[in-house]
Structure 1
Amino acid sequence: MEPETGLEEVADAAGEGAGEAAEDMAQQASEAPQVIAAAAGDLSDRLLSDAERVIHGVMQPWNAWQLVILVGVFALAHLGRAWLGPKLHDWMRAREGWPRWRMRYAVTLHRRLRAVLFVGLVWIAVAAVRQLDPAGGAAVLRIVANLATGWLFVALVARLIANPLLRGLVRYGAWTWITLRILDLTTETARLLDSLAVQAGDLRISALLVVKAALVLGVAFFVARLLAQTSAHRIETNREISPSMQVLAVKLSQLFFYGIAVFVGLRAVGVDLTGLAVLSGAIGVGLGFGLQKVVSNLVSGLIILLDKSIKPGDVISVGQTFGWISTLGARYASVVTRDGKEYLIPNEDLITTQVVNWTHSNNSVRLDLNFGTAYGDDPHEVRRVAIAAAAGCGRVLAQPAPVCHITAFGDSSVDYILRFWIDDATAGLTNIRGDVFLALWDAFKAEGISIPFPQREVRVLDGSALRVARPTAE
């Protein structure tokens, strides 16, 4: 009975511990709104007191004059925008051969020309006021000048980010931080955001942590994207690297830079990454069971890039699909046909099914045309005329030269095969076949060579039931 009694005591103790933990969590949850409300109340009191102090300061005569100066500066900036904007626009339209990034920034400066003029004029006003009244200072002008300068700088730098969502997050986040920094409200805001937290065991997630993570990850992803684009441009312009290896190198560099961005960003905000080992194991099991096809396509795409069996620009046939490879993605290959359709073929199908790569080792493709001539035509002359007609077509290669052979003596014609080579299969196969057939037609017509066609002769035997109507003389 003693072992059972010990087990019961352990169970009771565990139950009591769990109950106490649950009560503590419930008490924290019930006190959380009060703590948040208290922190919000403290911040609101501080903000109100600061607002009263600012309003009282603005009402002073000298500060009111600074507001009048700001209104005048804004009016001058607006007039300068109206006068200088059209001239700058005409000058930009006359710039030919400018890089795209330079023209994009010129457009950005043109759109924010009033803000640029305002920043320049307000700093001139600050310097002038300090010279006129060194003792009085120019506090209002200086605060507005700092805010305008910071906002303009953030707007110009954020233009480098191509993703609209990420650009908006970075822009508004930086504007908020600069405003709080200049107005000296960062401490109170950080205290309020830190009080808005959710805690589960040792893990504590606050609004301040989320904001920091968003800003740090945004900057990290921007730097990673810039480095990935730079490396991709260098890889794609290197002629010594094959197209398939270029695609593989670009994908690996993107994976490397973005992975480093995530790791550094999470570590910078204090997130413990040791628990991700267990999470990655669980994700691996889930991928093994639920995403077999996706993983298979990813691995197949990696194999295709490594063995160089298929690369962008190759002309391939997969089943009834004939076209050239536009892009090789992580999951599928994009094949564009001559009629403009774009087929997304999974990488697994390119590995497991038969694929005809017309340009695997070289771009030369041989095409065969079958035709027949009458028995009365000289076969030697027919072969000479057919080879000359094929060689006269623009896309037909001179080397290897076209050849023509007799394949059979048919029922009503001598059968031939005409073989020729091209090196631009992406331009189409049916059109070059049609051009060569048309050249044969013109050449045979000029040389008097006939192309027979099947004919049938019907005879009516005497005594048969079938009678042929004969025209009667009127």
Structure 2
Amino acid sequence: MDLDLSEIYELLQNAARSVGAEVTSPWFYLQLGLMLAAAGIAFGVGAAVRSRIDMTALGMGWPAPLRLFLRVLVGSASTAAFAILMIVARGVMLASTWPSRSYLLEVSAKLAVAWLMIRVVTSVIRNEFVVRVVSLAAWLVAALSIIGQLDSTLDALDSVAIVLGGLRLTPLLLIKLGVLLAVALWLANIASKFLEARITQSRDLTPSIQVLLVKMLRLALMILAIAIVMSAVGINLSALAIFSGAVGVGIGFGLQKIVANFISGVILLADKSVKPGDLVTIGDSSGRISAMNTRYISVAAGDGREFLIPNEDLITQKVVNWTYTDKNTLVKVNFSTNYDADPRLVCRLAIEAAEASPRATKGKPPNCIITEFAEAGMKFTLTFWIADPDGMDKVKSDVMLSLWDAFKHDDIRVPYPVREIRIRGGALPVETTVEVPG
């Protein structure tokens, strides 16, 4: 621990003496009164500005950045008014008395101007929570610099250290690392989005290759950002070798599923077995692949649901890809008739019903065969092709309805069991017979 308690104690004593001398002066209370009065006036000015300015009408037709800048200025009208009043009061005090007697007014004016500039700069950030954190941190640094305590604060934060092997960890180092890492990852995210837009617009790359390139570029940019930040704050990457064993153990026990899904996702994107837009059936889940991510794929069902299936399942389980090499799909319709029907007429009616479907492929004629002379009647199978498997159940239903109408027109009956119960003498036993027309 690199901690000098005597220096910190002396620093606190000097700060206490300075504050005590300032508070006992009558000019302190004059400045405090002027600050409170200016704060009240500024609050009223800000409320009046916000109530009288219609942001929707004022920013009509302006570019989005200018509308955002104007909204920030109107929202910070109280801060701007307070800064102006402090500057005016400071000028009056300088003209009438010693500069040291208006020191608090100068500090207040600088703090207000710093906050106003920070709010304008952070207006480009859309996340409200990030805006608040960044604004507060930047204003705190500006405040320490204004009152002349930034260097001493940095020295104090750097005086406390924990040494792990060849790595010296201090609060100042952790703060720098956090700030620079957040900025670097933000810039990496912007760069990855820009590259993603360029890649997705390319017509020479398949959807799976596009997704693979986007994922690999995003990962590479994140690793590069982390490496640059660590080098910038003075962390030697070789000093982190002590943690590699722990990370390996963690991957072996707790993160093996995550790593397996990541590797499986890379394999799926590389071998093109599935790609966005494919119609797949995985277990009991069927639908069209809407997105492929590092850990899972998203399969959109026709009823509004989305199945999130881990990438590992696509490697280890049976997957039916209806559009892997060809979108043409064979539709099978199984049905039965009684033995009174002419099987040749039944096949002809079934083929005509399939040919009448607007989704049926014209270049591949339908086919109908008789498959079995069963106890309940004759069984048939009608097959025909459609150009896309999407909505296959609807096509099958329409063909069966057309076939039903044709059977009604030609008096062809579909077999169904008829049960008749006879009771003799009003007592048991009961004799049950089953009649099947045919």
Q: Same fold (TM over 0.5)?
A: yes
CA distance in 1, matches of 2:150, 2:184: 23
2:407 alignment partner AA = F
CA distance in 1, matches of 2:287, 2:13: 67
Query: Are 1:45 and 2:14 matched, yes or no?
Result: yes
Can you give the 5+ residue segments of structure 2 that lack an aligned partner in the other structure?
Answer: 423-427, 432-438
Percent of paired sites with the same residue = 33
Q: Which residue of 2 aligns with 1:438?
A: 401
Superposed counterparts of 1:83-162, under 5 Å = 83-84=52-53, 87-89=54-56, 102=64, 110=71, 113-115=74-76, 117-121=77-81, 135=95, 143-158=107-122, 160-161=124-125
Query: Are 1:231 and 2:191 matched, yes or no?
Result: no
CA distance in 2, matches of 1:182, 1:347: 54
Q: CA RMSD in A?
A: 4.2
Superposed counterparts of 1:59-74, under 5 Å = 59=28, 68-69=37-38, 71-74=40-43
Shift of the alpha carbon at 1:216? 1.6
**Per-residue CA distance 1:181-221 (angstroms, 9 max, x = gap):** 23322112112222233345654322222222222222222
Q: Which residue of 2 aligns with 1:81?
A: 50
**Do 1:400 and 1:420's aligned partners in 2 also have CA atoms closer than 8 Å?**
no
**Do 2:68 and 2:123's aligned partners in 1 also have CA atoms closer than 8 Å?**
no
Q: Which residue of 2 aligns with 1:403?
A: 366
Q: Say how many residue pairs are matched.
A: 421
Secondary structure, in 3 states, of the residue corresponding to 2:275? coil
Secondary structure, in 3 states, of the residue corresponding to 1:335? strand
Shift of the alpha carbon at 1:368? 0.6
Shift of the alpha carbon at 1:292? 4.2
Query: Are 1:369 and 2:333 matched, yes or no?
Result: yes
CA distance in 2, matches of 1:55, 1:309: 80
Shift of the alpha carbon at 1:177? 0.9
CA distance in 1, matches of 2:247, 2:221: 21
Q: 1:162 to 1:90 in 2, by over 3 A?
A: closer
Q: 1:62 to 1:376 in 2, by over 3 A?
A: closer
2:271 alignment partner AA = D
CA distance in 2, matches of 1:379, 1:453: 14
Shift of the alpha carbon at 1:399? 3.6
Superposed counterparts of 1:268-279, under 5 Å = 268-277=232-241, 279=243
2:414 alignment partner AA = P
TM-score calculated relative to the size of structure 2 = 0.78
**Do 1:400 and 1:421's aligned partners in 2 also have CA atoms closer than 8 Å?**
no
**Per-residue CA distance 1:210-234 (angstroms, 9 max, x = gap):** 2222222222222122222222333
Query: Are 1:389 and 2:353 matched, yes or no?
Result: yes
CA distance in 1, matches of 2:199, 2:9: 53
Shift of the alpha carbon at 1:157? 4.5
Q: Which residue of 2 aligns with 1:450?
A: 412
Q: Which residue of 1 aligns with 2:324?
A: 360
Q: Which residue of 1 aligns with 2:157?
A: 193
CA distance in 2, matches of 1:51, 1:257: 52
Shift of the alpha carbon at 1:91? 6.3
Shift of the alpha carbon at 1:323? 2.6
Q: Which residue of 2 aligns with 1:14?
A: none
Shift of the alpha carbon at 1:151? 2.3
**2:185 is matched with which residue: 214, 221, 242?**
221
Shift of the alpha carbon at 1:358? 0.7
Secondary structure, in 3 states, of the residue corresponding to 2:237? coil
CA distance in 2, matches of 1:271, 1:234: 34
CA distance in 1, matches of 2:385, 2:229: 57
CA distance in 2, matches of 1:378, 1:405: 14
CA distance in 2, matches of 1:299, 1:90: 53
**Do 1:366 and 1:420's aligned partners in 2 also have CA atoms closer than 8 Å?**
yes
TM-score calculated relative to the size of structure 1 = 0.72
Shift of the alpha carbon at 1:307? 0.8
Query: Are 1:299 and 2:259 matched, yes or no?
Result: no
With 418-427 and 363-372 compared, the bigger mean Cα shift is at: 418-427
Secondary structure, in 3 states, of the residue corresponding to 1:275? helix
Q: 1:355 to 1:239 in 2, by over 3 A?
A: same
Q: 1:148 to 1:241 in 2, by over 3 A?
A: farther
CA distance in 2, matches of 1:251, 1:452: 56
Secondary structure, in 3 states, of the residue corresponding to 1:287? helix
Shift of the alpha carbon at 1:305? 0.6
CA distance in 2, matches of 1:247, 1:48: 64
**Do 1:333 and 1:347's aligned partners in 2 also have CA atoms closer than 8 Å?**
yes
